[in-house]
């Protein structure tokens, strides 16, 4: 069952909730969704899973960007409700009709919602049936059932008549041999004649339940709305048909995967969520294609499609485009945004942002712009750029405090040393930057101790000892071939004995796929429970940043013996002086891990440690 | 080549000058004075309007951590009810209106421009946009869930208090302890002391890593002394309110103090 459905503004005011359900949600899934998904530029995703003690929900949402509304549906994870997407888009459509920024209560939406919910459920039922229809026996059975039920219940409510008409549609389909259009045709059929009657029946039901007093006007309104909706459905359905045909032709014609990729996104966006499950069921092949594209050399082909878009634009002529820019375009559609987003994605990728991240970001920005009004005297590209800038600032602004000194002082008050563990792959500069951090802490009158827990690479302990001697700080070492977890533990004990405030633990570099070493690291973190796990990554890294960080996080989680394992808390970005304007690694790393960049290493001397300047990074990324 | 061009230009300029002088000589003096007078008058008018506008800023900012109740307060001020509840804001709420409690009063009240800035740390960058035009800042603190959030709250407050525009213009700040209707709520004196203590610690640690970080341009308080809000250049006061039960008289008082009716 649907647990809750909320409509609220982007400002945070709840406009309408589904009161009938009444059962309170456990925890606060909505707030969590907003904080950890929508505000993290992950709104391009399809759904969000929320876990709280005693409850696990799945949340789905949709935006109305022009009016600044958010629609969220919450349901139990174990139930796979097919109709939620459908329902959300219908609710969006209906609610935007009656929405008025000055009004704050929408009690009259209850009736409309009941109606919409029934419709959506019925359609989901049909969908289920139509999936089974592949086997003709089922089909006939279903139809018989429908007829029998029809006979019993006089007139029949919407569900049943819909079911029957669905079967009719199916018959027609079979002759043409086009199974995909089943749902659509069915809607068509309904739209032509049967819906008014069906809605009427439904309305009557409602009326009866409302102690017989039902407003005739309302009924008419509902009816007209029902009619309108089906019309729009029909419209939407008729659109994608020719496109699909074109796709197939194209694919045969020049056999280039990107074309099919474009089409993979198109039908979904054009249709809205109306028949998403049908599309999903039918998309096995193009998904394969998509993967292929990612692995193959996609760049040149993408360029080609980009050129195609451009020529299309030029055909339109400058006059119409200028007129558009003055008058302000009514509503932005996905197809309008696509060229600008593509250009932006390419630009991000030239700045060394991992492709996956750039893609997700663009999707999220598209989701936040779709349906918005374009202000006059602005171009799409500048609007997109502004939205992307907002998003980037949001991502790079740290969520938690990155004031380590503050944490050090509070640990000192509690009388225990503050432990920082440096982790990362080989050769990124863990020891060097550990020394820089030690130098910085020393300057702020903090007693620092180093722990040489890299018992793996020869020379590592000596390297750290040299740093310690130059900075004149104590170092704890036990030579090689020792378990690093034990060494770290002893180091921390030693630190609390001799009154050091901070212990900087150096670990051996390890590749993210090296399971034994990752297990050892996970053990080290579990045993010592450090205050800060600092991932050291080099700014030179490109697509591998995603892999490194996600695998590190994943392995730390999976291989840890404790039920709620420690993950990476912060990032130290090294070799920042070597990359000129290719600062994308910072974005990739922050996006994938959610952890802030705490330090930036930018040179060889002890003083070359900086804070990340978010503004300049964003500026460089969009330059 | 260049020299010749420069010479040509000079001659042209000379000619233009001569023509202009001729033109002026032809115009009768009263007309000329009138024209000059009109130009001066309009310029002065614009200057006066700008000055006047700047002085009478009527913007009040609602800031504070996420979940402290800013959006509820915003709607209490506007409509006198919190409607059906709120969720985490993703965008600022903005509105210019006459306070709800004053709508029944006689006489024309001056509308107040109130902005509710989201408290989520990722959205704090939006605060800068509004700070420059603020007549007063309200920093909302959750008095019930105060201790778990005291560090985050004091960091945010520290950031606001050290913003250049706040210090320079001496924008008054009200620390509003929200949710005092709850039994477990802390008193406003306790909250003030805790915040002062935390800011004192922050002052010690907030020396930026390098000059690249320019967020904190001003240092707070008097060096060598324990920090107290009275040391701030702008006026900092503490008050109590309860958003859900519409007990916001002290907030309204603050607003009316700085946005004259």
CB-count exposure of residue B233 (10 Å: 0-12, 13-18, 19+)? middle
Residues A613, B212: C-beta atoms closer than 8 Å: yes
| DSSP conformation class of B229 | G
Residues B71, A13: C-beta atoms closer than 8 Å: yes
pLDDT for res A5:
84
Identify the CA nearest to A595 among candidates A460, A423, A456. Answer: A423
CATH number for the domain harbouring residue B152: 3.40.50.300
pLDDT for res A141:
43
Pick the last residue of a domain from B52, B69, B86: B52
B40 and B164 belong to one structural domain: no
Which pLDDT band holds residue A297 (cuts at 50, 70, 90)?
Answer: very low
Which one has a higher pLDDT value, A400 or A556?
A: A556
CA torsion sign for A76, B67, A595, B131 is positive
Nearest CA to CA, how far is A405 from chain B (Å)?
Answer: 6
Integer Cα distance of B93 and B95 in angstroms: 7
Q: Where are the domains of chain A?
A: 312-392, 404-622
B120 and B11 belong to one structural domain: no
The owner of tokens 């198109």 is: A266
Strand ranges of the sheet holding A48-52, from the earlier edge strand across to the other edge: A14-17, A2-9, A69-76, A55-64, A48-52
- For residue A105, the chain B residues in CB contact (below 8 A) are 83-84
B195 and B165 belong to one structural domain: yes
Residue ranges in chain B modelled with pLDDT below 70: 1, 53-56, 106-108, 206-218, 261
Q: What is the pLDDT of residues A116-166, one digit of tens each?
A: 888 888 888 888 787 665 544 444 444 444 444 444 444 444 444 444 444
Identify the CA nearest to A372 among candidates A90, A94, A64, A102. Answer: A64
Residues B118, A609: C-beta atoms closer than 8 Å: no
- For residue A411, the chain B residues in CB contact (below 8 A) are none
**Three-state DSSP class for residue B16:** helix
Provide the CATH topology of domain A312-392: 1.20.120
Which pLDDT band holds residue A290 (cuts at 50, 70, 90)?
Answer: very low
**CB of A91 closer than 8 Å to CB of A116:** yes
Closest residue in B to A33 (Cα–Cα): B88
Q: Which CATH class is domain A404-622?
A: alpha beta
**For chain A, which residues lie within 8 Å of any Cβ of chain B, measuring from their own Cβ?**
6, 8, 10-17, 30-31, 34-35, 38-40, 68, 70, 104-105, 393-395, 397-401, 403, 405-406, 408-410, 440, 444, 599, 609-611, 613, 616
B83 and B20 belong to one structural domain: no
Which pLDDT band holds residue A19 (cuts at 50, 70, 90)?
Answer: low
pLDDT for res A325:
62
B85 and B130 belong to one structural domain: yes
For chain A, how are helix, strand and coil distributed in percent, rounded to 5? 60, 10, 30
In percent, how much of chain A has pLDDT > 90? 16
Identify the CA nearest to A388 among candidates A408, A366, A406. Answer: A366
pLDDT for res A573:
92
Which pLDDT band holds residue A20 (cuts at 50, 70, 90)?
Answer: low
pLDDT for res A149:
44
How is A500-537 classified by DSSP, letter by letter? -SEEEEE-----TT-HHHHHHHHHHHHHH--SEEEEEE
B39 and B95 belong to one structural domain: no
B69 and B30 belong to one structural domain: no
Identify the CA nearest to B66 among candidates B178, B205, B191. Answer: B178
Residues A11, B84: C-beta atoms closer than 8 Å: no
B8 and B94 belong to one structural domain: no
Q: Does B155 touch chain A (CB under 8 A)?
A: yes
B141 and B30 belong to one structural domain: no
Residue A225 confidence (pLDDT) above 60: no
pLDDT for res A289:
37
B213 and B154 belong to one structural domain: yes
Expressed as residue numbers, the domain containing B27 is 2-52
B121 and B82 belong to one structural domain: yes
Residues B88, A12: C-beta atoms closer than 8 Å: yes
Residues A12, B83: C-beta atoms closer than 8 Å: no
Q: What is the pLDDT of residues B182-225, one digit of tens each?
A: 888 889 899 999 998 888 888 777 654 444 444 455 677 777 77
- The residues facing A571 across adjacent strands are A535, A597
pLDDT for res A244:
44
**CB of A517 closer than 8 Å to CB of A557:** no
**Counted domains in chain B:** 2
B22 and B103 belong to one structural domain: no
């Amino acid at each position: 069952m649907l647990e809750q459905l909320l409509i609220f503004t982007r400002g945070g005011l709840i406009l309408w909730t589904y009161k009938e359900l009444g059962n309170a949600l456990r925890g606060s899934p909505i707030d969590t969704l907003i904080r950890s998904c929508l505000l993290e530029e992950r709104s391009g995703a399809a759904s969000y899973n929320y876990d709280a003690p005693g409850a696990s929900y799945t949340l789905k949402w949709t935006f109305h960007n022009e009016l600044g509304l958010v629609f969220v549906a919450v349901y139990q994870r174990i139930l796979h409700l097919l109709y939620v997407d459908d329902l959300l888009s219908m609710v969006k459509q209906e609610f935007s009709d009656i929405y008025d920024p000055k009004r704050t209560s929408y009690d009259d939406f209850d009736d409309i919602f009941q109606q919409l919910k029934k419709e959506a459920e019925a359609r989901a039922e049909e969908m289920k049936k139509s999936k089974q229809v592949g086997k003709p026996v089922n089909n006939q059975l279903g139809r018989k059932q429908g007829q029998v039920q029809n006979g019993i219940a006089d007139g029949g409510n919407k569900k049943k008549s819909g079911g029957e008409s669905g079967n009719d549609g199916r018959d027609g389909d079979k002759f043409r041999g086009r199974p995909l259009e089943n749902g659509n045709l069915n809607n068509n059929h309904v739209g032509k004649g049967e819906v008014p009657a069906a809605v009427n029946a439904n309305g009557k039901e409602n009326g009866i339940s409302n102690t017989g007093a039902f407003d005739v006007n309302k009924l008419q309104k509902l009816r007209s709305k029902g009619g309108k909706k089906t019309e729009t459905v029909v419209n939407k359905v008729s659109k994608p048909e020719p496109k699909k045909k074109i796709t197939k032709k194209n694919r045969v014609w020049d056999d280039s995967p990107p074309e099919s990729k474009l089409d993979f996104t198109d039908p979904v966006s054009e249709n809205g969520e109306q028949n998403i499950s049908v599309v999903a069921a039918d998309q096995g092949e193009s998904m394969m294609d998509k993967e292929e594209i990612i692995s193959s050399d996609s760049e040149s082909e993408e360029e080609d499609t980009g050129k195609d878009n451009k020529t299309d634009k030029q055909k339109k002529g400058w006059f119409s485009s200028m007129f558009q820019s003055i008058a302000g375009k009514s509503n932005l559609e996905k197809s309008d945004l696509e060229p600008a987003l593509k250009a932006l994605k390419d630009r991000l990728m030239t700045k060394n942002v991992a492709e996956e991240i750039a893609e997700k970001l663009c999707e999220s920005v598209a989701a936040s712009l779709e349906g918005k009004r374009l202000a006059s005297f602005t171009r799409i590209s500048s609007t997109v750029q502004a939205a992307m800038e907002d998003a980037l600032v949001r991502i790079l602004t740290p969520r938690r405090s990155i004031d380590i000194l503050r944490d050090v002082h509070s640990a000192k008050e509690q009388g225990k040393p503050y432990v920082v563990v440096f982790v990362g792959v080989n050769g990124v500069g863990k020891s060097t930057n550990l020394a820089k951090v030690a130098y910085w802490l020393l300057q702020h009158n903090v007693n620092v101790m180093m722990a040489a827990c890299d018992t793996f690479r020869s020379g590592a302990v000596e390297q750290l000892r040299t740093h310690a001697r130059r900075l004149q700080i104590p170092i704890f070492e036990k030579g090689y071939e020792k378990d690093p977890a034990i060494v770290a533990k002893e180091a921390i004990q030693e630190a609390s004995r001799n009154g050091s405030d901070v212990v900087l633990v150096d670990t051996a570099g390890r590749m993210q796929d090296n399971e034994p070493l990752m297990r050892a690291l996970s053990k080290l973190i579990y045993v010592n429970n450090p205050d800060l796990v600092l991932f050291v990554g080099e700014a030179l890294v490109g697509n591998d940043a995603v892999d490194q960080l996600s695998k590190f996080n994943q392995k730390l989680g999976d291989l840890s013996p404790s039920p709620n394992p420690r993950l990476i808390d912060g990032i130290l970005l090294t070799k920042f002086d070597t990359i000129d304007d290719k600062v994308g690694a910072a974005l990739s790393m922050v996006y994938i891990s959610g952890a802030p960049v705490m330090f930036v290493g930018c040179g060889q001397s002890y003083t070359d440690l900086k804070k990340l300047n978010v503004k300049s990074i964003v500026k460089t990324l969009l330059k | 080549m260049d020299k010749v061009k420069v010479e040509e230009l000079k001659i042209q300029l000379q000619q233009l000058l001569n023509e202009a002088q001729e033109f002026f000589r032809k115009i009768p003096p009263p007309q000329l004075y009138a024209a000059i007078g009109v130009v001066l008058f309009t310029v002065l008018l614009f200057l006066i309007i700008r000055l006047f506008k700047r002085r009478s800023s009527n913007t009040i900012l609602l800031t504070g951590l996420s979940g402290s109740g800013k959006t509820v307060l915003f709607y209490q001020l506007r409509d006198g009810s919190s409607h059906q509840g709120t969720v985490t804001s993703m965008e600022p709420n903005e509105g210019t209106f006459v306070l709800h409690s004053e709508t029944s009063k006689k006489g024309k009240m001056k509308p107040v421009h109130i902005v509710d800035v989201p408290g989520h740390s990722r959205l704090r960058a939006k605060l800068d946009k509004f700070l420059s035009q603020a007549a007063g800042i309200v920093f909302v603190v959750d008095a019930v869930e105060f201790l778990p959030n005291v560090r985050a709250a004091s960091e945010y407050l520290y950031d606001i208090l050290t913003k250049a525009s706040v210090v320079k213009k001496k924008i008054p700040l009200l620390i509003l302890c929200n949710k005092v209707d709850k039994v477990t709520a802390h008193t406003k004196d306790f909250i003030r002391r805790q915040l002062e203590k935390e800011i004192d610690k922050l002052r010690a640690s907030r020396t930026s890593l390098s000059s690249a970080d320019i967020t904190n341009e001003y240092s707070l308080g008097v060096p060598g002394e324990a920090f107290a809000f009275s040391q701030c250049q702008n006026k900092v006061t503490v008050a109590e309110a309860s958003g859900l039960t519409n007990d916001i008289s002290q907030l309204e008082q603050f607003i009316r103090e700085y946005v004259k009716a």
